[in-house]
């Protein structure tokens, strides 16, 4: 299908892209293209208005790559998902990113789709949001004046993933004490889109859960923390039955929106399994020879 007429812009710097985005009417950002191009086709098919200007970030080299030091990991916005998956820097708390990247669609898509496109597409079911909230990651943006704005992934998604500036990179602090559990259920066996995702992060102090983030993506709203579950876990230890008991301490409005009883039940099973996974990880670390 041919697209409606548009003007294609190919800036060479993030600042140039930000200035174009600020000044051009009816402009959309093109990252990897796996979301936007399909969206443009659907708009035309429905007879709806399409953007007049497309600003591609493909040739902005400063927006590509992964950098790590002793304190943090930086993933630039135009880095494709497979490059994240294959990065040697995914150790300690960053290793959960490899699990998530492996779950994103198919290998050809992972070679096109970018971190920036996944986070800013405004599709509620995309994969990276929940895990990056659990990692307490920050998003960095460049405006038309060249000034940087930093906002947490959590706050960005609370604002419905809206921004009038150019997303340049995400930064994540290293923390060797964090443990992660990730559960993801696909919507259909033949379409690799998640129906829900659960990411629980904690730091065990002895047998006790501390500093817990329980992030849920019901794929209807953007990923969000279950503060009720977090409060329960932070008062709990890894005793027998804690995973089952946790299901009595959920922020029900997050899960009730899923509608039918089957999806609610799958969510509960995923939460229970995530908590059990954290406990099993702790036991293996405490007793590596068993």
Q: Which domain holds residue 35?
A: 7-56
Q: Is 68 inside a domain boundary?
A: yes
State whether 169 and 65 are in the same domain. Answer: yes
Average pLDDT over residues 30-37: 86
List pLDDT tens digits, range 147-177: 999 999 999 999 999 999 999 999 999 999 9
Whether residue 31 is predicted with pLDDT greater than 70 in this model: the reply is yes
* pLDDT recorded at residue 2: 66
Q: For residue 1, is pLDDT > 60?
A: no
| Contact criterion met (CB below 8 Å) for 231 and 191 | no
Pick from 158, 173, 188: which residue ends a domain? 173
Residues 277 and 203 in one domain: yes
What does the pLDDT look like over 242-251, one tens digit per residue? 999 999 999 9
Question: Residue 169 in 3-state DSSP?
Answer: strand
Cβ neighbours, 10 Å, residue 133: 26
**pTM for this model (two decimals):** 0.94
| Residue 2 counted as domain residue | no
| pLDDT, position 33 | 86
DSSP code at position 5 = P
Q: Please check whether residues 65 and 167 belong to one and the same domain.
A: yes
**What is the arithmetic mean of pLDDT over 95-109?**
90
Element housing 156 (H / E): helix 153-158
In terms of domains, do 95 and 45 share one?
Answer: no
Rounded CA gap, 113 and 34, in Å?
6
Do 252 and 201 belong to one domain?
A: yes
User: What is the tally of structural domains in the chain?
Assistant: 3
pLDDT of residue 42: 82
Neighbour count for residue 82 (Cβ, 10 Å): 18
Percentage above 70 pLDDT, the chain: 97
Does 22 have pLDDT greater than 90? yes
Using pLDDT thresholds of 50, 70 and 90, give the confidence band for residue 189.
Answer: low
pLDDT digits (tens, 9 = 90+) for 206-262: 999 999 999 999 999 999 999 999 999 999 999 999 999 999 999 999 999 876 888
């Amino acid at each position: 299908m041919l697209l409606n007429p548009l003007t294609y812009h190919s800036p060479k710097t993030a600042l140039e892209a930000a200035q174009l985005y600020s000044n051009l009417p009816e402009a959309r950002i093109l990252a990897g293209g796996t979301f936007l191009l399909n969206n443009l086709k659907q708009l035309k098919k429905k007879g709806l208005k399409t953007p007049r200007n497309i600003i591609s970030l493909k040739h902005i080299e400063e927006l590509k790559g992964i950098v790590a030091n002793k304190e943090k990991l930086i993933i630039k916005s135009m880095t494709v998902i497979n490059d994240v998956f294959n990065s040697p820097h995914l150790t300690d708390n960053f290793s959960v990113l490899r699990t998530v990247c492996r779950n994103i669609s198919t290998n050809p898509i992972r070679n096109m789709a970018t971190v920036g496109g996944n986070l800013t597409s405004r599709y509620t079911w995309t994969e990276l949001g929940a895990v990056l909230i659990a990692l307490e990651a920050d998003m960095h943006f460049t405006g038309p004046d060249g000034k940087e704005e930093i906002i947490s992934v959590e706050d960005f998604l609370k604002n419905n993933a809206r921004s009038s500036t150019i997303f340049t990179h995400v930064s994540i602090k290293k923390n060797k004490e964090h443990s992660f559990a990730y559960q993801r259920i696909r919507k259909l066996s033949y379409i690799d889109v998640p129906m829900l995702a659960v990411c629980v992060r904690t730091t065990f102090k002895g047998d006790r859960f501390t500093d817990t983030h329980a992030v849920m993506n019901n794929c209807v709203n953007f990923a969000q923390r279950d503060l009720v579950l977090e409060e329960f876990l932070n008062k709990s230890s890894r005793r027998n039955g804690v995973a089952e008991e946790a299901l009595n301490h959920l922020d029900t409005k997050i899960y009730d929106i899923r509608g039918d009883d089957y999806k609610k039940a799958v969510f509960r099973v995923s939460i229970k399994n995530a908590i059990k996974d954290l406990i099993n990880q702790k036991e293996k670390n405490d007793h590596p020879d068993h």
